[in-house]
Structures are given as structure tokens and as C-alpha cells.
Homo-oligomer: A and B are copies of this chain.
Amino acid sequence: MPIRDSQTEELIKATAKRLFFSEGKFRATTQEIADAAGVNRTLVNYYFRSRDHLFELVLKDARQQIEERMGRLFEMDLPFREKIGLMIDELLESVFDYPFMDIYTITSIKDVSEGSEKQAHNKEMREKISHFLKEVEKERKKGTIRASSAIHFFLTLTSLMGHPITFRGMYQLAFDQNDKQYKKLLKERRELILEMLFK
């Protein structure tokens, strides 16, 4: 099958993405990736040079996928409370795909600080957060939100949204719930979170 019609490259990439960031197997070997994709191990090198190269590519891909969605939301001109509501929906639906994305970020935070490309990603993140904090501060002065400062609002929001997703595996085990039950539980939290954040 010449002339680049093979789906193998895409298959390997998708499989690696799932292993790394959906199942949290950051240490998956080339052999494990190849087995999961049902292809010969050498093909991983053939299409992606090295394991590290593949990892970086997939990391960038998954991040972009998440950030694009969230980015569009940030830009929208909506009442503040509605926007936050949409952010919660967004997380519940999309970030659910890669629950181990942010865990990787934490465990590699020291490496993240170094490296020019990572520095850039870093700066971009800080700017986005800074922009969001200003928006929150405006709202806070209007007196519609409970938090005593923009940072506290931000931390409360991300905590309430992120933690139950990050620790999903643990809580499903602890509460003895299957995927469907747990998702339902998280959906119930939408209004609950909004009421905690706003007066």
C-alpha cells in the first residue's frame, strides 16, 4: 500500500494518546503501544523516530484539543455566570477524555519549567489565567460572587471542577459506582458549584 494511504500512523498515535492520557500509562513502552495498536513494534520508530518524539507529539495534540475548546469559551461574550456554567459543562464532557493530562503536568512540572518550547507553553498559560483573573475581578467588584479575591474564586472553581475528575478512579472505587453513575453524580454538581460560587 504505497502513496500514504496507510492508517497505521494515525492508529499508533491514537493508541498512544489513549494509553498515555486516558489510562495514565505514561511509561508505556514501544512494545506495549504496538501491542495495543496491534502492529509491529518497529513501526513506532518508523513513523515517529523515537518514543520520546511520539510522546511529545501526542502531548501537544491532546493539549491543543482541550485548549481549543476552552479557548473558544473564554472568548465568548456572555454573562459571567453563564460562562462559568459552560466551562463546567465543557470539563464534564470533554476533559473527561484525558483525565491524566493534568496529572502528567504535575509530575513533570520541574521539566516543564526548563526547555524553550515548554517555557513558551508556560507563558501562554500564565497569560490566559491572568486575563481570566481580570475578568473575575471586575465581576467581584460588582458584588455578584462570594469569593474574597479573584485567585480564591479561581482556586475554588478549578478545585470543584477538577478534583472529582482527577480522582475519578479512586472515588468510583470508594463509592462503588460505575461510569454511568459517577457521571450522573458529576452532572448533579453543576448547579451545586454555581450556587457555591455566586451569591
**Which residues of A pack against B, CB within 8 Å?**
24, 26-27, 100, 102-103, 105-107, 109-110, 112-113, 122, 125-126, 129, 146-148, 151-152, 155-156, 158-160, 162-164, 166-167, 169-171, 173-176, 185, 188-189, 192, 196
Which residues on B sit within 8 Å (CB–CB) of A151? 175, 185
Chain B residues near A192 (CB, 8 Å)?
Answer: 147-148, 152, 156
Main secondary structure of the interface of A (DSSP, over half): helix
Known: A109-B170, A109-B173, A156-B196. 5 other contacts (CB 8 A): A100-B106, A126-B176, A148-B188, A148-B192, A159-B164
CB-CB under 8 A for A166 and B129, given A122-B173, A155-B189, A189-B152: no
